[in-house]
């Protein structure tokens, strides 16, 4: 399935928005305005934007500790996201979750997740609910190369395959689980090969190529919607920054980082869109300015919002 021009522009805008959000988060974290820690999605934007371009609001996603890109791509509000990073009461989780636990159940965002491999069983459950209720919605499970070796991931893929659940497993192979390179973490070259154990269709794509991600996701989502079961898509990409902000990332060579930065998904798509005549330079400037204004407004909103009151600590434990 080839992507429409309108969707290309939307996906490009989403990718720029993710990058802009993350760059602001990095700066604000460095300034000490964001407590805790943040894991940024810089360099992986084509994965979330490409996959979520195939989804609708009623579809579900489960995310990871590196979740900002997924949330923005699924329609998350950057104001409430930024406020949550700041621990403010106006944040998505009223300051109770932070970067690693942002969710928006009204958009099917079942939460970022602090546990590597925590999301796949939940995605199977959301997919099961869709099937049970006779809805043609799907659940997309984003997980990293680290989570690809967790038992929960394999159990969830097996169950989804046995039960023909409408789930799309999207592996973001960014090559590192903190310092452990994927070459030291698994013996297969392509994580997609792991799907063979579940007789699940699988494909490995260039995760820095928006169109490749979109095409693979379209096919997988369509398969899930018509009841033909789950798919594994491996998106080969790269985490341009450290595992978390402040990680000096001494475990990888400057040459390797430079090589991947040259494959940055955003300039790549931009070049393609210019060549295709989908976007002109002035329109790109407009998009970038619009996104910058939106993120700056989100930062202002977060900075000006009130902190939670200490009395709220025990609220929302039970329904």
Partner 1 sequence: MATMTFADALNDAHRIEMRRDPNVFVVGEDVGIYGGIFGVTKGLLEEFGEMRVRDTPITESAFVGCAVGAAAAGLRPVAELMFVDFIGVCLDQIYNQGAKMRYMFGGKARIPLVLRASCGAGIGAAAQHSQCLEAWFMHVPGLKVVMPSTPADAKGLLISAIRDDNPVVFLEHKLLYATEGEVPEGECTVPLGKADVKRKGEDVTVVATAAMVPKALAAAETLAAEGIGVEVVDPRTLLPLDEETILASVKKTHRLVVVHEAVKFAGPGGEIAAMVAEKAFDYLDAPILRVAAPFSPVPFSPPLEQAFIPSEERIAQAVREVVGA
Q: Which residues bind partner 1 (CB under 8 A)?
A: 60, 62, 91-97, 101, 103-105, 110-111, 113-115, 118, 120-130, 132-133, 139, 151-152, 155-156, 158-159, 162-163, 315-319
Give the nearest distance from C-beta 100 to partner 1 in angstroms. 8
Rounded to a whole number of angstroms, the minimum distance from the CB of residue 121 to partner 1 is 2
Strands 139-144 and 167-173 come out as parallel
User: Residue 137 Cβ, how far from partner 1 at the closest point, in Å?
Assistant: 9
What backbone phi and psi angles, to 5 degrees, belong to 67?
-100, -10
Question: Which CB, 33 or 96, lies closer to partner 1?
Answer: 96
Q: How far is the CB of 111 from partner 1 (least distance, A)?
A: 6
CA distance 9 to 284: 9
Rounded least distance, CB 270 to partner 1, Å: 35
Minimum distance between the CB of residue 195 and partner 1, rounded to whole angstroms?
Answer: 16
Query: Which one, 49 or 139, has the nearer CB to partner 1?
Result: 139
How many C-beta atoms surround the C-beta of residue 57 within 10 A?
A: 12
CA proximity to 235, closest of 59, 70, 118: 70
Cβ-based nearer residue to partner 1, 187 or 319 = 319
- In Å, what is the CA distance from 308 to each residue of 50, 82, 284, 304, 311? 36, 15, 39, 13, 8
In Å, how far from its chain's centre is CA 213?
A: 13
Minimum distance of partner 1 from residue 221's CB (angstroms):
17
Q: Do 181 and 187 meet the contact criterion of CB atoms below 8 Å apart?
A: no
Q: Toward partner 1, which CB reaches closer, 39 or 241?
A: 39
Q: Which token pair is 166?
A: 């409408």
Q: Which of 73, 18, 85, 25 is nearest to 291 (CA)?
A: 18
Q: Which residues of 227-244 are buried (b: 16+ CB within 10 A; e: fewer)?
A: eebbbbbbbbbbbbbbbb
DSSP per residue, 81-92: HHHHHTT-TTST
Identify which of residues 256 and 309 has a Cβ nearer to partner 1 in the complex: 309
- CB-wise, 110 or 148, nearer to partner 1? 110
Q: Tokens 């970022």 appear where?
A: 112
Closer to partner 1 by Cβ: residue 152 or 204: 152
């Amino acid at each position: 399935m080839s992507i429409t021009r309108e969707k290309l522009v939307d996906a490009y805008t989403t990718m720029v928005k993710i990058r802009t959000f993350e760059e602001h988060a990095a700066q604000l974290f460095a300034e000490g305005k964001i407590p805790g820690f943040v894991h940024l999605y810089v360099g992986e934007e084509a994965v979330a934007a490409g996959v979520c371009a195939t989804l609708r609001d009623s579809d579900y996603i489960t995310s990871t500790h590196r979740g900002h890109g997924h949330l923005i791509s699924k329609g998350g509000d950057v104001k409430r996201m930024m406020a949550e990073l700041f621990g403010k009461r106006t944040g998505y989780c009223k300051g109770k979750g932070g970067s690693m636990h942002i969710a928006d159940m009204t958009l099917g965002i079942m939460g970022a997740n602090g546990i590597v491999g925590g999301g796949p069983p939940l995605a199977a459950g959301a997919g099961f609910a869709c099937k049970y209720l006779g809805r043609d919605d799907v659940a997309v499970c984003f997980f990293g190369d680290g989570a690809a070796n967790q038992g929960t991931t394999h159990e969830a893929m097996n169950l989804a395959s046995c039960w023909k659940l409408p789930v799309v497993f999207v592996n973001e192979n960014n090559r590192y689980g903190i310092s452990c390179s994927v070459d030291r973490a698994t013996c297969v070259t392509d994580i997609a090969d792991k799907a063979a154990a579940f007789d699940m269709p699988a494909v490995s794509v260039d995760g820095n190529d928006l169109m490749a991600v979109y095409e693979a996701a379209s096919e997988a989502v369509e398969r899930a919607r018509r009841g033909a079961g789950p798919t594994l898509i491996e998106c080969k990409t790269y985490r341009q920054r450290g595992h978390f902000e402040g990680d000096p990332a001494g475990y990888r060579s400057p040459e390797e980082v430079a090589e991947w930065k040259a494959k940055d998904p955003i300039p790549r798509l931009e070049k393609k869109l210019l060549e295709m005549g989908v976007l002109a330079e002035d329109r790109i400037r407009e998009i970038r300015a619009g996104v910058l204004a939106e993120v700056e407004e989100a930062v202002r909103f977060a900075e000006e919002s009130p902190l939670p009151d200490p009395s709220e600590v025990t609220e929302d434990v039970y329904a």
